[in-house]
């Protein structure tokens, strides 16, 4: 069923307007941020106003569209702008740490790099955009009934838990002990490099979709039905084991995708919906903060009331702005650009090391060593995807990376335009959370995509042929012909 001409035209013009407005607002934010950088930019809190100015430039369009529908607010490019603020600017907005060992010029270059990435994204959203792969479209068109959804929940639970069970010798007591142990202290921890166990470890990604499946089932049946209660319990078990690893971003992706799925399933953007959404988001951020503070004492230590291993008074993300500033000072004046080596390192990551023992072990540079960080041996630092792209070819690579993610965002928005099917909101939620976490690192883009493709495998397994009809995607890339007015 096609949209009415007026509705289509309004949506089409709104998308163009947003993309065109994004570039000047970001540019204005960058210029203002640079102008108000204080002479003494190093103390804690000195960069608050410049960071706020840049953040407002990035978020101007999402804020202006806050009164639109849920799907309009949760457009992929809006999520990417929020991700840049979260991963790179949040610590500056919270006055988390001083900017030591960086020059004024490197701070300015870091601001310009963030703006270049954002402008590349907005420009990338213009035009027709890529068409989603047919495999993804066919999965988004599927209509899965309650019984098959419940079956999918059990399949993803068993597949997701298989690695934990295998590593524990299928002993429930060992699994429980491992769940309560400290980070890197569980039987399923494999260290820095994987062996044959990497195959079973990849099965964990099947469990990433469990909370989203539970939300979808609850939307169709109600939250107090027995099957939904069982599904929610399985989801909590899966999330608990994922939390044991201490990786906050995994929990953010898994629960965030379920939250996006729930929001998109709502019919209207009501105040109650906004309040509940923010409450869930607040709980999620609190849980993620607890993870980072207690991951060295484990769940058992948290239950015993032990002091946190890291006492943090602010919402901790990463010191990405500091590391990005240091990166802009290093490349290419101190060390040459690494070119495509870091990209190759990311792209070959899915290949098991047992098949390729000499597979690259790093992105071509050691950031802790380059900045002479004490005790850096065996550690890693994140400097966001902006820093990774800058280390490749400077601002040129940053802009091209922004273009790529802009095109990807434009493509992913089309998932919601698929006619028919009841899993497109689930697919969309997983996809935009992958885009969100990708702003932290290129590796996250590859790793988190496993969960999406794991769901595609399961969905194709349990699909009903009677409901798997080929339904076209509603195209918004060209204006439909206007029908003559009826007389």
**Model confidence pLDDT, tens digit, residues 16-57:** 788 889 999 999 999 999 999 999 999 999 999 999 999 999
Cα 210–chain centre separation: 17
Task: Tell me what the mean pLDDT of segment 4-20 comes to.
Answer: 63
User: What is the reported pTM?
Assistant: 0.89
Helices 172-179, 146-167: inter-axial angle, 10-degree rounding: 90
Q: 415, 473 in Cβ contact below 8 A?
A: no
pLDDT for position 129: 83
Query: Which element (helix H / strand E) includes 201?
Result: helix 197-201
pLDDT at 190: 67
Window from 2-11, 64-73, 267-276, 358-367 with minimum mean pLDDT: 2-11
What was the pLDDT predicted at 421? Answer: 80
φ, ψ (nearest 5 deg) of residue 464: -95, 125
Say what percent of the chain tops pLDDT 90. Answer: 55
Q: What is the pLDDT of residue 311?
A: 64
Comparing 19-33, 172-186, 324-338, 454-468, the range with the smallest average pLDDT is: 454-468
Give per-residue pLDDT as tens, 309-318.
666 667 778 8
Q: What are the backbone dihedrals phi and psi of residue 299, each rounded to the nearest 5 degrees, phi first?
A: -65, -35
Q: Which of 212, 196, 91, 113 is nearest to 458 (CA)?
A: 212
Percent of the chain past pLDDT 70, that is, above it, reads: 86
| pLDDT at residue 192 in the model | 52
Q: What pLDDT score was predicted for residue 484? A: 43
pLDDT, one tens digit per residue, over 345-402 is 888 877 777 777 777 878 888 888 888 765 445 556 788 999 999 999 999 999 999 9
Which of 148, 203, 110 minimizes the C-alpha distance to 454? 203
pLDDT tens-place string over residues 243-274: 887 678 899 999 999 999 999 998 777 788 88
Q: Identify the pLDDT of residue 420.
A: 75
In this structure, is the dihedral angle defined by the CA atoms of residues 88, 92, 94 and 100, taken in order, positive or negative? positive
Mean pLDDT of the chain: 85
Q: How confident is the model at residue 485 (pLDDT cuts 50, 70, 90)?
A: very low
Give the Cα separation of 101 and 202 in Å (integer): 39
pLDDT at residue 1, as a whole number: 39
The pLDDT of 420-432, averaged and rounded, is: 92
Contact 439, 385 (CB under 8 A): yes
Of 128-137, 292-301, 383-392, 466-475, minimum mean pLDDT range: 466-475
CB 411 within 8 A of CB 428: no
Residue with tokens 């990551």: 349
What Å distances lie between residue 59 and 23, 153, 217, 256, CA to CA? Answer: 11, 36, 33, 19
Residue 431 pLDDT > 90, yes or no?
yes
Q: What is the DSSP string of 84-126?
A: HIIIIIHHHHTT-S---S--HHHHHHHHHHHHHHHHHHHHHTS
């Amino acid at each position: 069923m096609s949209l009415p001409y007026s509705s289509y035209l309004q949506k089409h013009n709104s998308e163009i307007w947003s993309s065109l407005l994004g570039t000047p607002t970001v540019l204005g934010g960058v210029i203002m941020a640079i102008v108000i950088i204080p002479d003494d930019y190093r103390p804690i809190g000195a960069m608050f106003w410049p960071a706020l100015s840049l953040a407002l430039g990035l978020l101007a369009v999402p804020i202006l569209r806050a009164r639109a529908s849920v799907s309009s607010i949760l457009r992929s490019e809006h999520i990417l702008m929020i991700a840049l603020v979260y991963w790179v600017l949040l610590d500056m907005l919270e006055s988390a740490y001083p900017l030591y060992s960086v020059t004024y010029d490197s701070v300015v270059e870091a601001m310009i790099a963030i703006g270049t990435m954002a402008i590349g994204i907005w420009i990338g959203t213009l035009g027709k955009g890529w068409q989603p792969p047919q495999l993804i479209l066919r999965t988004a068109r599927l209509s899965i009934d309650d019984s098959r959804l419940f079956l999918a929940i059990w399949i993803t639970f068993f597949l997701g838990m298989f690695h934990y069970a295998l590593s524990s010798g299928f002993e429930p007591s060992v699994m429980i002990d491992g769940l309560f142990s400290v980070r890197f202290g569980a039987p399923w921890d494999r260290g820095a490099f994987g062996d044959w166990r990497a195959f079973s470890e990849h099965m964990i990604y099947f469990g990433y979709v469990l909370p989203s499946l539970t939300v979808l089932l609850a939307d169709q049946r109600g939250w107090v039905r027995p099957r939904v209660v069982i599904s929610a319990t399985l989801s909590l078990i899966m999330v608990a084991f994922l939390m044991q690893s201490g990786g906050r971003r995994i929990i953010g992706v898994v629960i965030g995708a379920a939250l996006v799925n729930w929001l998109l399933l709502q019919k209207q953007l009501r105040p109650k919906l906004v309040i509940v959404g923010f409450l869930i988001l607040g709980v999620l951020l609190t849980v993620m903060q607890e993870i980072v503070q207690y991951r060295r004492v484990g769940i058992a230590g948290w239950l015993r009331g032990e002091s946190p291993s890291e006492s943090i008074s602010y919402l901790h993300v990463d010191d990405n702005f500091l590391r990005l500033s240091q990166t802009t000072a290093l490349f290419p004046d101190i060390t040459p650009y690494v070119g495509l080596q870091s990209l190759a390192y990311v792209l070959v990551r899915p290949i098991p090391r047992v098949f390729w023992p000499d597979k690259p072990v790093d992105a071509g540079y050691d950031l802790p060593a380059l900045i002479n960080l004490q005790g850096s041996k065996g550690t890693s630092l994140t400097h966001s995807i902006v820093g990774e792209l800058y280390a490749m070819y400077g601002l040129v690579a940053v802009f091209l990376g922004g273009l790529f993610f802009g095109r990807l965002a434009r493509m992913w928005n089309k998932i919601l335009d698929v006619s028919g099917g009841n899993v497109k909101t689930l697919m969309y939620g997983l996809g935009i959370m992958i885009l969100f976490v990708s702003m932290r690192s290129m590796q996250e883009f590859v790793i988190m995509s496993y969960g999406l493709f794991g769901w595609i495998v399961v969905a194709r397994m349990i699909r009903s042929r009677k409901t798997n009809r080929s339904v076209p995607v509603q195209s918004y890339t060209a204006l439909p012909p206007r029908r003559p007015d009826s007389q």
